[in-house]
């Protein structure tokens, strides 16, 4: 029997954001939101462990009221309980304040064996929130897990890809992992579960529910980083256009590659002049 908490976040469906170079404002097309794709893998990993070992899966999200949608989606996949941390004071949180808020929510849940986060979000894109929560809760963590094997007396067994090495590890429970897209194939939403869970409640906790420490740990006030400005990426100016027949272009490129010593210089003189 394990109690697993999965951190899920609602993100904009498309990252195709452009910036108006004159006004500096963001041009976001549409406002459709989805569950952060990496979190689907985290949720699938949690449900698969529950199916093997028994137990419960709780999902938790910090976000505005409409983030309830991702909790409903998690119910359809197989989560048992959903918590939404929602409060005006949480707005504008950077990764430190987000980690803090989520860790306080998880503390309030009480006995938790395992926390799973996605590797990163598609909007924040930092991969920092998971390790931050682990530190705040004083737990060991492993980031970028690509295989979850099992839970036994030794703890949670996982495989981690470090690029040049593949490591088999176990972590003592309780612990936290973040997962990559390699970890599994998330199940499709079931219509039957959609019907069965449509009246399930979503618990909403505000700042006072999770903290006695006052607002300066949360949202903008609790965020050490400040965004000073946003600007479009600058194209650099140094460039030369080569035009002509394919033959000419090929000759010119070969000569340049030889001049710059990217290929071994032959003994014979270069032919193109003749």
Partner 1 sequence: MEIRVLKDRCTGCGLCLTVCPFAAMELSNGSIEINEACRLCRLCLPACPEDALYFAGAEQGQWNREAFQGVMVVGEMLQGALHPVTLELMGKGRELADQLGQELHVVLVGCNSGQYGQHVLQFGADAVWIADAPELEYFRVEPYANAVEYAVNKVQPNILLLAATNTGRSLGPRLAVRFRTGLTADCTYLHVKANGDLVQIRPAFGGNVMAQIITPRHRPQMATVRYKMMEPAAAQRRPGARIERIPLADAQLRSGITVHSVKTRQQQPSISEAEVVVAVGRGLKAQKDMQLAYDLAELLNGQVGVTRPLVEMGWADHTQQIGLSGRSIRPKLLICFGISGAVQFNAGAASSGWIVAINEDPEAAVFQMAHYGLVGDLYEIVPDVIQGLRERRAQHAVF
* 113: CB partners within 8 A, 6+ apart: 2, 3, 4, 55, 151, 173, 174
User: Based on CB atoms, which residue is closest to partner 1, 91 or 96?
Assistant: 96
Do residues 210 and 105 lie in contact, with contact meaning Cβ atoms separated by under 8 Å?
yes
219 binding ligand AMP? (CB under 6 A): no
Query: DSSP label at 234?
Result: P
Q: How many CA atoms lie within 13 A of 188 on its CB side?
A: 3
State the Cα–Cα distance between residues 36 and 239, nearest whole angstrom. 39
Q: What are phi and psi of 71, to 5 degrees?
A: -70, -40
Characterise 261 by phi-psi region: left (phi > 0), alpha (psi -120 to 50), beta (else). left
15 binding partner 1? (CB under 8 A): yes
130 binding ligand AMP? (CB under 6 A): yes
User: Based on CB atoms, which residue is closest to ligand AMP, 66 or 126?
Assistant: 126
* The one among 153, 199, 264, 273 contacting partner 1 by CB under 8 A: 264
Which parts of 172-191 interact with partner 1 (CB under 8 A)?
172, 175
The helix (run of H) or strand (run of E) holding residue 59 is: strand 55-62
State the Cα–Cα distance between residues 210 and 67, nearest whole angstrom. 18
* The one among 86, 95, 180, 211 contacting ligand AMP by CB under 6 A: 95
State the Cα–Cα distance between residues 5 and 110, nearest whole angstrom. 11
Binding partner of residue 63 among ligand AMP, partner 1, none, CB cut-off 5 to 8 Å per kind? ligand AMP
Q: Which string of x and - marks every residue 47-66 that binds ligand AMP (by CB under 6 A)?
A: --------------xxx---
Q: Which string of x and - marks every residue 228-257 that binds partner 1 (by CB under 8 A)?
A: xxxxxx-xx-xxxxxxx-xx-xxx-xx-xx
Nearest residue to 251 (alpha-carbon basis) of 261, 241, 242: 242
State the Cα–Cα distance between residues 188 and 269, nearest whole angstrom. 65
User: Based on CB atoms, which residue is closest to partner 1, 44 or 94?
Assistant: 94
State the Cα–Cα distance between residues 147 and 162, nearest whole angstrom. 13
Binding partner of residue 50 among partner 1, ligand AMP, none, CB cut-off 5 to 8 Å per kind? none
State the Cα–Cα distance between residues 111 and 77, nearest whole angstrom. 23
164 binding partner 1? (CB under 8 A): yes
111 binding partner 1? (CB under 8 A): no
Cis-peptide, bond into residue 174, ω within 30° of zero? yes
129 binding ligand AMP? (CB under 6 A): yes
131 binding partner 1? (CB under 8 A): yes
User: Based on CB atoms, which residue is closest to partner 1, 74 or 176?
Assistant: 176
Per CB under 6 A, the segment of 95-103, 169-177, 193-201, 249-257 that binds ligand AMP is 95-103
117 binding ligand AMP? (CB under 6 A): yes
39 binding ligand AMP? (CB under 6 A): yes
By CB under 6 A, name the binding residues for ligand AMP: 7-9, 36, 38-39, 42, 61-63, 95, 98, 102, 117-118, 120-121, 124-130
């Amino acid at each position: 029997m394990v109690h697993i908490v999965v951190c899920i976040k609602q993100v904009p469906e498309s990252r195709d954001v452009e910036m108006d170079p004159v006004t500096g404002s963001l041009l976001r097309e549409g406002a459709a939101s989805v569950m952060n794709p990496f979190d689907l893998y985290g949720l699938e990993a949690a449900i698969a462990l529950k199916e093997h070992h028994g137990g419960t899966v709780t999902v938790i999200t910090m976000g505005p009221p409409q983030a309830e949608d991702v909790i409903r989606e998690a119910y359809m996949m197989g989560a048992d309980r959903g918590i939404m941390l929602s409060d005006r004071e949480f707005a504008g949180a950077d990764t430190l304040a987000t980690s803090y808020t989520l860790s306080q929510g998880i503390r309030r849940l009480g006995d938790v064996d395992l926390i799973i986060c996605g590797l990163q979000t598609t909007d924040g894109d930092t991969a920092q929130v998971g390790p931050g929560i682990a530190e705040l809760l004083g737990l060991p963590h492993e980031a970028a897990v690509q295989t979850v094997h099992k839970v036994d007396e030794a703890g949670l067994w996982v495989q981690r890809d470090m690029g040049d090495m593949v490591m088999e590890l176990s972590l003592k429970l309780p612990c936290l992992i973040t997962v990559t897209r390699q970890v599994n194939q998330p199940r499709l939403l079931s219509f039957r579960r959609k019907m069965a869970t449509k009246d399930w409640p979503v618990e909403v906790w505000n700042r006072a529910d999770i903290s006695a420490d006052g607002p300066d740990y949360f949202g903008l006030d609790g965020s050490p980083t400040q965004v000073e400005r946003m600007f479009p990426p600058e194209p650099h100016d140094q460039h030369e256009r080569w035009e002509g027949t394919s033959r000419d272009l090929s000759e010119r490129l070969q000569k340049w590659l030889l001049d710059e010593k990217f290929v071994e210089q032959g003994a014979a003189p270069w032919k193109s002049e003749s």
